[in-house]
Amino acid sequence: MFNNAMGLILADNKKISLGELSNPRALSAMPFGGRYRIIDFMLSDMVNSGIKNVGLLTYNKYKSLMDHLGTGAAWSLDRKNDGLHILPPYVNSEASAIINDEELTGVMDFLRQSRTKYVIVSASNVVLNTTFDDFIKSHEDSGADISVMFNRDGTKYGNPSYIIETDNDGFVKDMLYNPPKPASSKCSLGILCIRRDLLLDIIAKQMAHGITHFGIHSFVKMYDELKVHAFEYSGVALRINSVQAYFNASMSLLEDSVRADLFSEGEPIYTKVKDEAPTLYFDNADISSSIISDGCRIYGKVEDSVIFRSVTVAKNTTLKNCIVMQDAHISENCNLENVILDKNAFVRPGVRLVGHPEYPIVIGKGAGI
C-alpha cells in the first residue's frame, strides 16, 4: 500500500482541557484503553495507509509524548529517510512570534524537505481505526483544494464542535463553531487532505500578513476562496473533548462493537512495547466486564473498569466504572465508583469515593488520597 502523502499531527489543542489529567502531558499523550496513548491511533492510521513521513507538531508539555514515541520504532518509523519527526515549537527566520498551540510556522522546513504530493493533517483528540486510501482518492476525484473528514456526531461530544454544511456536490458552504442549535449533524473530525504545495503557499501568505498561527479549521474556513470538499467517515470515532468525553470513550471500549471496530476488524494499532509479566489474579479476585492490562495484582473486585499496567487492587476493595492508570495502588477495604486515577496515584486503606457517571472524580498523577 502506497500513498503519495505525508502526515502532520497537532499534538495538543488549547481549546480542550482535561483538568488534572492534561496538566502534566499533551492531549495526544493521554493514556487510553489500558495500554495505548491517543497518539497511537492516528500514527497507526497513517502508517497503515502507507505514509512513511510523519511530523508531530508540539507546543508544550511534550516530555511524556517524546518518552512514549522514542525513535518511532514501534510504528516502523525509525528510518534513515523520512520516518517520525518531533517538531517542537520554534521561531524560524520567517516568523517573529509564537502565539498559541496551533502554531504552524515550525513545519515549514519539514514540508519543504518532502516531495510528496499531499499532506494528511490531523488533530490530536480523535480515536479511530482507518486508512486514508479512500479519503485521498475522494479528494483527487472531487477536484477539491482541501478535503475535510466528518461524521454525523453533531454536538453530542460537547465543545469544541465544528459543524459543517455542504451543498449537493459535497462541498462545504458554511462552518459553525459550537452552534447552540446546529442545522446539521455533520461534525468535522479535524482531519484534512491538502496538497503540500498549497499548504506551503497558505502558510507563507498567512505569515506575510503577520499571522504566524492557525489551526486545522482555519483551512476549512477558506471555503469562500478554495474548494473544500467533505468526506464522510462511517466507522467508530471517539472524540476526547473533556474529562466526561474521555471517561465515556474509555467506558465504551467495554462494548463489543466498539472494541471490534477499533481493534479487531481494522488494521493493527501499534504502541510502545513493554515487557510485563501476566496479571496475577488471587483467590478472592472477582473480575467482570473489564479490561485488565499486564503486570497487575488483583486481590479485590473489579467491575466495568479499564485497568492499565502494573496496578494493584488490594483485598476487600471494589472498583466499579473506574479508569486506573499505570502503577496506581488501591489499598485494602476501598470502594471506588466512577473514578479516574492517574499514573502513580495511591489510595489509602478504607477510602470510599463515589462519583457520578457524568462527573467522574479525578485523582491526579502521583497524588495520594
Q: Please write the tens of the pLDDT for every residue from 213-261.
A: 657 888 899 999 999 999 999 999 999 999 999 999 999 999 999 999 9
What integer pLDDT is reported at residue 265 of this predicted model? Answer: 86
Over the stretch 191-215, which tens digit does the pLDDT of each residue have?
Answer: 999 999 999 999 888 778 776 665 7
Q: Is residue 245 part of a domain?
A: yes
> Would residue 275 count as lying in a domain?
no
Residue 106 has pLDDT above 50, yes or no: yes
Q: Assess whether pLDDT exceeds 50 at residue 102.
A: no
CA distance 291 to 62: 27
Strands of 83-196, DSSP E: 83-87, 118-122, 126-127, 146-151, 162-166, 172-177, 187-195
324 and 196 in a single domain? The answer is no
CATH code for the domain in which residue 168 is found: 3.90.550.10
> What local confidence, expressed as pLDDT, does residue 193 receive?
97
What is the pLDDT of the chain when averaged over all its residues? 90
Residue 183 lies in a domain: yes
- Specify whether 92 is located in the same domain as 163: yes
What pLDDT shows up at residue 1? 55
Q: Are residues 208 and 314 in the same domain?
A: no
Average pLDDT estimate for 249-276: 93
| Same domain membership, residue 260 and residue 287 | no
233 and 313 together in one domain? no
CA distance 253 to 274: 21
- For residue 217, being part of any structural domain is answered with yes
Inform me whether the pLDDT recorded for 100 exceeds 60.
no
Average pLDDT over residues 131-148: 96
- The span from the CA of 170 to the CA of 153, in Å, is 17
* Burial of 297 from C-beta contacts in 10 A (0-12 / 13-18 / 19+): middle
Where b means 16+ CB within 10 Å and e means fewer, 330-351 reads bbeebbbbbbbbbbbbbbeeeb
Please check whether residue 36 lies inside any domain of the structure: yes
Cβ–Cβ < 8 Å for 330, 347: yes
Domain boundary among 264, 289, 321: 264
If one compares 215 and 126, the residue with the highest pLDDT of the two is: 126
Write the single-letter amino acid at 33: G
Residues whose CB falls within 8 Å of the CB of residue 124, separated by 6 or more in sequence, listed in order: 9, 10, 11, 12, 13, 26, 27, 28, 38, 39, 42
Domain span holding position 58:
5-264
Residues 247 and 293 in one domain: no
Residue 17 pLDDT > 90:
no
Plot region of 82 (φ>0 → left; ψ -120 to 50 → alpha; else → beta): left
Per the model's pLDDT, the better-predicted residue between 3 and 359 turns out to be 359
Percentage, residues of the chain above pLDDT 90: 73
Q: Are residues 167 and 21 in the same domain?
A: yes
Q: Whole-model pTM? A: 0.92
Name the domain count of the chain.
2
Is 175 found in the same domain as 114?
A: yes
Looking at the chain, the number of H-run helices and the number of E-run strands are: 8, 28
CATH code at position 338: 2.160.10.10
Q: What is the pLDDT of residue 259?
A: 94
Decide which of 190 and 62 is more confident.
Answer: 190
pLDDT for the residue numbered 214: 57
Flag whether 304 is in a domain.
yes
Same domain, 251 and 311: no
Q: Is residue 332 part of a domain?
A: yes
Asked whether residue 201 falls in the same domain as residue 129, the answer is yes
Please tell me whether residues 139 and 186 are part of one structural domain: yes
Residue 38: predicted pLDDT: 96
Where among 220, 235, 264 does a domain terminate? 264
Say which residue, 105 or 203, is predicted with more confidence: 203
Q: Does 241 map to a domain? A: yes
| 298 shares a domain with 215 | no
